[in-house]
Amino acid sequence: MDLLNVSEMVAAHARLRPADPGAKDSRRALSFAQWDARASRLAAALHGLGLAKGDRVGILAYNCVEWMEIYVALARAGLVAVPLNFRLVTPEIEYILEHCEARVVIVQDALLDRLDPLRGRLPAAAGRFIHFGAERVPEGWLGLEALVAAAPEQAPKVTVLPSEPWAFMYTSGTTGRPKGAVRSHAGSALIALATALDMGCSREDRALLVMPMCHANSLYFSFTFTCLGAAVVIDDRRSFDPEALLATFERERISFTSLVPTHYVTVLALPEDVRAKYDVSSVRRLMISSAPARRDTKLAAMAYFRNAGLYELYGSTEAGWVTLLRPHEQLDKLGSVGREWVGTGPVRILDGEGNEVPDGEVGELHSRTPFVFDGYWKDPQKTAEAFRGAWCSVGDMAYRDAQGYIHLVDRKSNMIISGGENIYPSEVEAVLAAHAAVREVAVIGVPDPKWGESVRAVVVCHDGYRVTEAELIDWCRERLAGYKRPKQVVFVGESDLPRTATGKIQHRILRSRAVVQAAETD
């Protein structure tokens, strides 16, 4: 069972094909032997700082090859990775690090300003703040390269069981507070193996990681190819550049990548003569996931990437992969997210009492997979709410058609997906409600041709107070990550907010109004 640990996967390839390319970004390339050696030294260095098996390590960085080194080193040392979204602001990061009781924090130089104010406020990590990405190490920080250089070549002797945690993937909840989904070594490795089996991936592939490496999507896909001994290329640009993506496809002979619909929309919006400059014939498999994909986007992507099979994935941080729409099914089932992955149980669609609903009827989607998460860290109540026995749900509503294909009809209560990022209105509402002028606020997602959805705040002001849209957006700037901030603020009277009989604001009706308004202006 050792190979249900990514550390052992890398070690095996280092023995069998040491000179083969393992991982690279625009600055550095690692063979499997180099990757394995650096992971062992980093694992030893972390134990040398006083860490013990099971301790948590926060990681804040843009996409870079160091993510691959750190993930493997932590697996080798029996430590738990806590990837932090680089879009978060300091208070959001502080909550996660305190909640998981991180003993070490590793930060890229470009994001130093997010963490530096916390060095005196995180007692569990006192003296263990590690910096990388620039030659000069700031005062009070440890340098990653110096730690690796001074560490023993041999990793510490730690027995790491497949059932033990490898990562806490923090995902926001309907309460607005992030929840730490516990992912085991075995669950993560089984996702990699299921992906390789169902999608026909091989050692000859070259995978490009574009999605943030703090996300489950890149974490799982990266180690699918690592498991096989294939090379992983990391797009380390700070913002998405569609033409640069095409250039990377050509230069690196990329055969696979996973993108959100917004990425495809941006690539396909390039002038035809620009797209024609690049040879994308090496691309054999394309994944579209993390947000609903429009029919016209998928058709255009299939037309441009003519050699590639297009897959659509539905899953979650908690459940892992749930369904897959395969290339041969795209034209007939474009509105579906497919059927279950190879090796997983059938999806169940249940009513409020836990009974399966007939085909064609909407219910809550539940799945039972071999790679489901192990619960939320320090939150038994939310963990219990996520399961009906062995069946996991994140609250998505769907129906199954007569051929067994799953169609999503709604998402977690009120959730917004903008550019592949999950946004929970209650978190944004809490920030806006703290402004002196705001009496009531409802946050909804509205249709956006580029991002899928954008954030709109519907605000009722206190009598006698006046505030502008720009002022409220600025209010959010220091309190919320950029992707969560409202792009629009609409001011209404109290009677304009639709309510239930108990006085709760009906976000569903506000969203419906926004959809109608968008359609009328098209």
Question: How far, in Å, CA of 272 to CA of 434, rounded?
Answer: 48
Compute the mean pLDDT over every residue in the chain, rounded to the nearest whole number.
91
Q: H helices within 269-357, ranges in order? A: 272-275, 295-304
DSSP for 372-437, please give it: ----BTT-HHHHHHTEETTEE--S-EEEE-TTS-EEEEE-STT-EEETTEEE-HHHHHHHHHTSTT
Q: Of 144 and 409, which is predicted with more confidence?
A: 144
**pLDDT category, 282, cuts 50, 70, 90?**
very high
pLDDT at 519: 60
Asked whether residue 486 carries a pLDDT value surpassing 60, the answer given is yes
Asked whether residue 173 carries a pLDDT value surpassing 50, the answer given is no
Of 381, 373, 410, give the one whose Cα is nearest residue 177.
381
Q: In the chain, what are the helix, strand and coil shares in percent, each to the nearest 5?
A: 35, 25, 40
Q: Provide the 3-class DSSP secondary structure of residue 105.
A: strand
Stretch 259-287: mean pLDDT: 94
pLDDT at 417: 85
Question: How far, in Å, CA of 352 to CA of 430, rounded?
Answer: 29
Residues 6+ apart with CB under 8 A from 340: 322, 323, 324, 346, 347, 367
Residues 6+ apart with CB under 8 A from 401: 336, 359, 360, 407
Digit-coded pLDDT (tens) for 41-85:
999 999 999 999 999 999 999 999 999 999 999 999 999 999 999
State whether the Cα torsion 13-14-16-19 is positive or negative. positive
Q: Of 3 and 178, which is predicted with more confidence?
A: 178
Greatest alpha-carbon pair distance for the chain in Å reads: 73
- 76-85, 430-439, 444-453, 497-506: lowest mean pLDDT where? 497-506
The DSSP H or E segment spanning 107 is strand 104-108
Q: Provide the 3-class DSSP secondary structure of residue 34.
A: helix
pLDDT at 501: 46
Asked whether residue 497 carries a pLDDT value surpassing 50, the answer given is yes
pLDDT at 345: 82
State whether the Cα torsion 323-328-333-334 is positive or negative. positive
pLDDT at 502: 43
Question: How far, in Å, CA of 76 to CA of 24, rounded?
Answer: 20
**pLDDT category, 489, cuts 50, 70, 90?**
very high
Q: What percent of the chain has pLDDT over 90?
A: 72
Residue 133, Ramachandran bin (φ over 0: left; ψ between -120 and 50: alpha; else beta): left
Stretch 357-378: mean pLDDT: 93
Q: Count Cα atoms within 13 angstroms, Cβ side, for 139.
A: 0
Question: How far, in Å, CA of 293 to CA of 308, rounded?
Answer: 17
Q: Count Cα atoms within 13 angstroms, Cβ side, for 87.
A: 17
Of 279, 284, 281, give the one whose Cα is nearest residue 202.
284
Stretch 115-128: mean pLDDT: 93
Digit-coded pLDDT (tens) for 180-224:
999 999 999 999 989 999 999 999 999 999 999 999 999 999 999
Q: Of 521 and 374, which is predicted with more confidence?
A: 374
Asked whether residue 516 carries a pLDDT value surpassing 60, the answer given is yes
**pLDDT category, 108, cuts 50, 70, 90?**
very high
**pLDDT category, 260, cuts 50, 70, 90?**
confident
**pLDDT category, 153, cuts 50, 70, 90?**
very high
Contact 421, 87 (CB under 8 A): yes
**pLDDT category, 174, cuts 50, 70, 90?**
very low
Digit-coded pLDDT (tens) for 293-325:
777 789 999 999 999 999 999 998 999 999 999
What are the Cα distances from residue 483, in Å, to 338, 444, 463, 490? 29, 14, 30, 18
pLDDT at 175: 46
pLDDT at 513: 84
Task: Count the Cβ atoms, other than its own, within 10 Å of residue 153.
Answer: 8
- 124-138, 159-173, 419-433: lowest mean pLDDT where? 419-433
